[in-house]
Amino acid sequence: MAARHKSMLAPGDVIDGFRIVRSLHVGGMAMLWIVEHDDHQGPLLMKVPRLGEGEDPAAIVSFEMEQMIMPRLAGPHVPKFVAAGDFAVLPYIVMEFVEGVSLAEVLPKLPLPIDEVATIGAAIAAALDDIHRQQIVHLDIKPGNILLRSSGSAVLVDFGLSTHAALPDLMEEEFRLPYGSAPYMAPEQVLGERRDPASDLFALGAVLYHLVTGQTPFGDPQRMAGLRRRLWRDPTPPRKLRPEIPGWLQEVILRCLSIDPAMRHPTAAQLAFDLSHPDQVALTERAVRSSSGGMLAAFRRRLAAPRTKPARRRNSLSISSPAPILAVAVDLDEGSATIAASLREQVARILRTMPQARLACLNVLKIARLTIDTALDEESRNKHVQRLVGLRHRADELKLDPARITFHVLEATAPADAILEYVVANRVDHVVLGARTKSLRKSLLGSVSAAVAAQAPCTVTIARSRSAYAE
């Protein structure tokens, strides 16, 4: 089936043997369809990213991450992965359709009974413990991403913003702003730290606060300034909003919402234990706290609050010996094929000297500085996706293990600046890029390759077309 715009999908369509039955949900980044397949029993769920005009490029990158992570997940607390579709045709993920109730569906009934909140919280914490043991941090725990089976167990969905210890973090590499759900996002996540399992415990604490009080602990800020306030401000204690909340539950919730990740429960399993054994919760001043603290304390915290990503904690996800990164900037515009062979030769030669290296293939989708660009080409195909497909095609001849290569389309007004920002932010060890032959545009605006070579804090190799040597 040829690639087409997501709005053209309809019940009755067949995609790689999957028959679309009906639409289930339209989200901010993807659409969900109920599908069937002759080789699989029962209904399945197909997730298709939104690729139309005006969509956030992060939706594409997060979908790539989910396609990478889902096949690595297992167990009762995640949907079973079935299949994935190629971006060159139609990107999708097909997974088990989980029979359960979304926690978002209970929000109109808030606040919930206290015993029910504890039971739900313990089930979610058990699910978090399961994925953390699989080296995954979810990073978007919220009611809409939690399903409750009839048995009471919790299932976590939507791993597009997640990170996996054994996989490159495409969201971190390509974007500088934090992604997540503002009411539940952890302070360290606001600063850009994405590998700490304690971030999921903070989010669960915010969910519990919401379920038991009917309010979110930090509102729903839409700007960075509002998000940063949780770096120095404590939430109003739950018991001030609902006095019948027992001290032990306030203790657990406020511990989850500690600004410092080290002050939260060491693991999700220990949090699940506390929620299941209230009589064994060790009480501190948090259990009887009646205010969020004075303005002076908040001011002191604000002065001491970190401005950049915090140092990674010992129990954060990490790879024991990070592989060096070789970045290659690939020009996909018409006429660039003349240096493609030379570029591949240079990359292959360098990779032979760096057998553990990961290759990051970069392309810059240049956007206008003042005018409004369209995200679609003349055939209504998403330009960002088409660049990803082009990068994958150019890399096919290298025949690399898929685990060693990633693809990144950077949208920017200045290609050299975008490449340099990626190189610096991701501590790239070596950059390879092609040099165009002489042109009026190059003489007037300068060379991207020259700018990168002059400013990159790493080794830079310039590949030239064979014809260029004869000039």
CATH number at residue 81: 3.30.200.20
Evaluate if residue 445 carries a pLDDT over 50: no
More confident position, 147 or 88: 147
For residue 339, the model assigns a pLDDT of 76
For residue 315, the model assigns a pLDDT of 78
Evaluate if residue 1 carries a pLDDT over 50: no
Domain final residue, candidates 96, 129, 160: 96
Q: What is the mean predicted confidence (pLDDT) over 7-18?
A: 88
Residue 207: domain span: 101-304
125 in a structural domain: yes
More confident position, 442 or 175: 175
pLDDT, tens digit (0-9, with 9 covering 90-100), for 313-344: 877 886 544 578 899 998 887 556 667 888 88
Evaluate if residue 436 carries a pLDDT over 70: no
Evaluate if residue 203 carries a pLDDT over 50: yes
pLDDT, tens digit (0-9, with 9 covering 90-100), for 21-56: 999 998 877 899 999 999 998 899 999 998 877 777
Please report, for the domain that includes residue 354, its CATH number.
3.40.50.620
More confident position, 357 or 305: 357
For residue 319, the model assigns a pLDDT of 54
Token code pair at residue 430: 């070596």
318 in a structural domain: no
320 in a structural domain: no
Residues 235 and 299 reside in one and the same domain: yes
Lowest mean pLDDT among 213-227, 369-383, 407-421, 452-466: 369-383
Mean pLDDT of the chain: 88
Residues 215 and 159 reside in one and the same domain: yes
For residue 320, the model assigns a pLDDT of 44
Q: What percent of the chain has pLDDT over 70?
A: 90
1 in a structural domain: no
pLDDT, tens digit (0-9, with 9 covering 90-100), for 374-402: 878 877 788 889 999 999 988 888 888 88
pLDDT, tens digit (0-9, with 9 covering 90-100), for 108-164: 999 999 999 999 999 999 999 999 999 999 999 999 999 999 999 999 999 999 999
Residue whose tokens read 């949208």 = 411
Residues 285 and 348 reside in one and the same domain: no
For residue 7, the model assigns a pLDDT of 47
Domain final residue, candidates 96, 126, 146: 96
Residues 338 and 272 reside in one and the same domain: no
Find which of 186-200, 308-322, 336-350 is predicted with most confidence, using mean pLDDT: 186-200
Q: What percent of the chain has pLDDT over 90?
A: 61
Residues 408 and 438 reside in one and the same domain: yes
**Number of residues assigned to the chain:** 471
Q: What is the mean predicted confidence (pLDDT) over 227-242?
A: 94
Asked if residue 153 lies in contact with residue 123, where contact means CB atoms within 8 angstroms, the answer is yes
Token code pair at residue 49: 């990213």
Residues 138 and 50 reside in one and the same domain: no
424 in a structural domain: yes
Number of folded domains in the chain?
3
Q: What are the distances in angstroms from CA 409 to CA 170, 181, 341, 414?
A: 11, 24, 21, 13
Evaluate if residue 5 carries a pLDDT over 60: no
For residue 427, the model assigns a pLDDT of 86
Residues 54 and 123 reside in one and the same domain: no
The span from the CA of 327 to the CA of 341, in Å, is 16
314 in a structural domain: no
Q: What is the mean predicted confidence (pLDDT) over 283-294?
A: 88
271 in a structural domain: yes
For residue 338, the model assigns a pLDDT of 67
460 in a structural domain: yes
Token code pair at residue 116: 């029910």
Residues 299 and 329 reside in one and the same domain: no
Domain final residue, candidates 247, 273, 304: 304
Please report, for the domain that includes residue 220, its CATH number.
1.10.510.10
Residues 33 and 139 reside in one and the same domain: no
Evaluate if residue 297 carries a pLDDT over 70: no
Residues 87 and 111 reside in one and the same domain: no
The span from the CA of 136 to the CA of 122, in Å, is 19
The CA-CA-CA angle for residues 135, 141, 146, to 5°, reads 100
Q: What is the mean predicted confidence (pLDDT) over 453-459?
A: 91
pLDDT, tens digit (0-9, with 9 covering 90-100), for 398-421: 888 887 898 999 988 899 999 999
Residues 280 and 339 reside in one and the same domain: no
Asked if residue 271 lies in contact with residue 200, where contact means CB atoms within 8 angstroms, the answer is no
Residue whose tokens read 């790689």 = 16
Question: In sequence order, what are the beta bridge partners of 155?
Answer: 147
List Cβ neighbours of 445 (8 Å cut-off, separation of 6 or more). Answer: none
Closest-CA residue to 434 (of 352, 334, 346): 346
Residues 68 and 157 reside in one and the same domain: no
Evaluate if residue 470 carries a pLDDT over 50: no
